[in-house]
Amino acid sequence: MVMLTAHFQLKLEAFELQVQLQLPATGISVITGASGAGKSLLLRCIAGLESPQIGYCQFKDELWQDSSRRLFLAVYQRPLGYVFQEACLFPHLTVQQNIAYGRKRVALPQAQAHLELVLALLNIKHLLHRKPAKLSGGEKQRVAIARALAVNPKLLLMDEPLASLDQAHKHEILPYLRRLQQELALPIVYVTHSPREITQLADYLVLMEAGKVLASGALQAVLTRLDLPLAQSQRASSVIQAEVLAYDAEFELLQLKFSGGILSLPHTELAKGNLLRLRIYARDVSLSLQPPRLLEASPSLPAQVLAWVDHSSGYTTLSLQVGHEQLLAQLTRKAATLLGLKLGQTVYAEIKNAAILS
């Protein structure tokens, strides 16, 4: 189901945004692309903070903007929350007052219950009486997110909300974002450069370049498109869903099942049946023409070669069909040449490492 249909044409002095986009109703849609690609401008257009010469924006069954009919809802008339790179809290107000500041225009009876849920989900109840100067960067950003959610928006827009935080605080906030989206059933449009945030958060991915949408689609489909810069970078990765099958306590190995076979990963114990999102870097997948021998520690999985692309760095990225999933593998061009691969050929992929993202 489509949540948001957005067509914008915005001419600035030295830049033109020209976007036609549809985003799905559920999950987190991530907008990514190089610096200056127009990601923030697109988000600002959706919010009604820019006035494009041509603009059409429909959220579910609400028409927010249609330049052909001279219709334009101002930002405060659109039921959305906006979180910026910096928390931008009022320094003289407490956390509670900062959050209440955004809530003045909401007088729904269920608003208090909603707010309680938001405070619990973001784990900030114990901070309510502090001033922003006494909060860590991560806590400030959680308060800024609570303030945006306090108005009970139908859509949350986030523009690089973790960019000003150090690594530790980024890690602290990421799990909250996924939980918020799920518990509040709130669609999120999220701008980021970060490959980690893309793989951890995105259900749907939009890739922008020079003011235009270069590609958009389900995360896995966009990540594994060999014609896009994502698959050709050194950090190319694929994402798969897997289920916890068993735990080998002796070797501290988690056994995970996905449609392509079984993976073993060193990890602490997780409950059987848990569904996990795994990120597999293309360079952590090695290929062999021989089927695995019995009793290998991490048996290779049968995979079909779908396509490959050579890049200028001396590497080749291949896309492989493994069960119902597509995986990327990155080899040196020499190794790929020596394997003598052919399209459609069956090879054996060893997944040497995978990160559990959620």
Ligand X SMILES: Nc1ncnc2c1ncn2[C@@H]1O[C@H](COP(=O)(O)OP(=O)(O)OP(=O)(O)O)[C@@H](O)[C@H]1O
> Which residues bind to ligand X, rule: CB under 6 A?
12-13, 15, 33, 35-41, 193
- Report how far residue 54's alpha carbon sits from residue 340's, in angstroms, rounded to the nearest whole number: 52
Q: Residue 335 CA to chain centroid, in angstroms?
A: 32
Residue 241 DSSP SS3: strand
- Report how far residue 260's alpha carbon sits from residue 318's, in angstroms, rounded to the nearest whole number: 17
* Nearest residue (CB) to ligand X, 205 versus 327: 205
Cβ-contact 354, 263 below 8 angstroms: yes
Written as one letter, the residue type at 177 is L
**Phi/psi class of residue 48: alpha, beta or left (left: φ > 0; alpha: ψ in -120 to 50)?**
left
Q: Residue 267 CA to chain centroid, in angstroms?
A: 24
- Report how far residue 86's alpha carbon sits from residue 292's, in angstroms, rounded to the nearest whole number: 51
In DSSP terms, which residues pair with 54 in a beta bridge? 9
Written as one letter, the residue type at 301 is L
In DSSP terms, which residues pair with 204 in a beta bridge? 29, 218
Cβ-contact 46, 57 below 8 angstroms: yes
From the CB of 84, what's the least distance to ligand X, in Å? 11
- Report how far residue 270's alpha carbon sits from residue 246's, in angstroms, rounded to the nearest whole number: 8
* Nearest residue (CB) to ligand X, 45 versus 331: 45
CA dihedral 25, 125, 169, 176 (to 10 degrees): -20
Those residues with Cβ within 8 angstroms of residue 23's Cβ, 6 or more apart along the chain or in another chain? 2, 3, 4, 6, 29, 187, 189, 204, 206
From the CB of 108, what's the least distance to ligand X, in Å? 33
Here the tokens at position 205 are 């991915």
Of residues 54, 113, 109, 45, the one with CA closest to residue 80: 45
From the CB of 294, what's the least distance to ligand X, in Å? 50
* Ordered strands of the 285-288 beta sheet: 285-288, 346-351, 301-310, 315-322, 325-332
Neighbours of 321 (CB within 10 A): 17
From the CB of 60, what's the least distance to ligand X, in Å? 25
In DSSP terms, which residues pair with 63 in a beta bridge? 58
